Chains A and B, each alone.
Chain A
Amino acid sequence: MNSTYTPVAKGLHWLMAALIIGLLVLGIYMHELPLSPEKLQLYSWHKWAGVTVFLLVWLRLAWRLTHRPPALPEAMSPLMRLAAHTGHAALYALMVVIPLSGWLMSSAKGVQTVWFGVLPIPDLLARDKELGNLLQLVHKGLNITLMLTLAGHVGAALWHHFVLKDDTLRRMR
């Protein structure tokens, strides 16, 4: 049994961590801005990064399914194991559905996503203002769920590291 994650898994974990935290901060900041060229620019960047996460998460899922991660620390209770697995499953699910909800929202709001301003991503929905507003709420709700799940994820990692003093966090180094 490996005692650490593969370099690819670690690379994807930290790359996506940086992208997702950046996306969260940008998303919270940009939607309050009054309309300006900068706002439109930030929205485009947010969408480009979101599409990137959406592509990377599939790569990451494929890697995860073909490369067994190190086992959880033996001292963990069944309840803690269940919490860990549920948390990780929720993070994967959110990494898929959050970009998807953004993509659908963009389509419904009539602003196609063009990845890095070059590659047009097909619109999945026809323009529909009300549906667009609803999807905006869905995107927001999912992101609040993500922030809470991330808080649990980071909190658990720090708890393992500083309180339980096991090597859970170090395995992702």
Chain B
Amino acid sequence: MKHLITTLALGAALSVSLAGANAATFQAVAPEKSSVTFSYKQMGVGMDGKFKKFTAQVNLDTAKPAQAKGRIDIDLASIDTGSSEADDEVVGKSWFNVAAYPKASFVLKSLKATGTNQYEATGQLTIKGQSRELQAPLKLSPQGALTGSFVLKRADYAIGEGMWAKFDVVANEITVNFNLNLK
């Protein structure tokens, strides 16, 4: 009897501590409620756009963030810059060269908790055949909304070559924002 009570008490304590840490597991992403957007400066004007098609895979147990796995693959041809003229331009050779490199990918290498519902992701970003490691701070709501952003330098990935290579018209820094709805 005493043994049973101890077991129950331990069990209760364990579930309380788990509930306190809001431990949750997420294994999929709802694409229709997720978004990948970007913003940059053009002639000093703040511009923004989005990618309409991407896939994301996430396997996250918030109790064990170190074991998290995830990746995002973006269909670059699905870009929406807000202008069809620009959409046609950026899929071309000097920008994304979609014919040769249809996708951009971010593959998670490590995830560490930095606070309540806050993480830092380190991963490999590959665009146009160029791979670079980057860090991005993430926020995860208890409902599973994972949001984060990072700034990439387009020159690092040869995005905008030739006449576009200078930064006086289109800035080098591109902010990428993602909002993934985890299930």
Contacts and interface: CB of A to CB of B under 8 A. Distances in A.
A40 interface: yes
Interface stretch (A63-71, A93-101, A112-120): A112-120
B166 interface: yes
Chain A interface residue bracket vs B: 10 to 19
Contacts of A36: 163
B43 A117 contact: yes
Interface stretch (B3-11, B18-26, B81-89, B144-152): B81-89
Q: Is the interface of B mostly helix, strand, loop or mixed?
A: mixed
Given A40-B43, A117-B43, A109 B83 contact: yes
A37 B89 contact: no
Contact of B47 (A41, A44, A110): A110
A94 to B, nearest CB: 26
A37 B169 contact: yes
Contact of B85 (A35, A112, A113): A35
Nearest to A111: B45
Interface string A35-50: 1110011011000000
A140 interface: no
Contacts of B168: 37
Contacts of A111: 42, 45, 47, 82-83
Closest 8 CB pairs of A and B: A117-B44, A110-B82, A37-B169, A44-B43, A35-B89, A114-B45, A114-B44, A40-B169
